[in-house]
Amino acid sequence: MELQITIFGQLTDITGSSNIRIPAVSNTDELLAALKQQYPALGTAKFVVAVNKKIIQGNTALAANSSIALLPPFSGG
């Protein structure tokens, strides 16, 4: 089982791809720990996590079908 994560903006410079997969974890704290291990530069990058298109506040449970995205600071307009 794997989770699929969509990466946006400058974070794609770190991951090298806009879609990454990691072995399944059960919540966003575990997800962030796993991601930072795999991509150490994420440790100092500014971003928020969106689960099912909502920015999360605090640790959030993940399911296999959760849509997960890493969003760096917005810079539209």
Partner 1 sequence: MENLQAVDMKERKPKQIFVQGAISPAFIADSIQKHSTRHDIGGHSIFLGQVRADTIEEKPVAAIEYTTYEEMALEKMLEIREAIFSKYDLTCMHVYHSLGKVAAGEICLFVFTSSKHRRMAIDACTELVEKIKFELPVWGKELFEDESYQWKENK
Q: Which helix (H) or strand (E) holds 23?
A: strand 19-23
C-beta atoms surrounding 14 within 10 Å: 19
Letters for 8-47 (x = contact with partner 1 by CB under 8 A, - = none) are xxx--x----------------------------------
**Unique residue bearing structure tokens 């966003």:** 28
Considering the complex, state which of residue 48 and residue 63 has its C-beta at the smaller distance from partner 1.
Answer: 48
Considering the complex, state which of residue 22 and residue 71 has its C-beta at the smaller distance from partner 1.
Answer: 71
> What's the CA gap between 64 and 27, in Å, rounded?
11
57 part of the interface to partner 1, by CB under 8 A: no
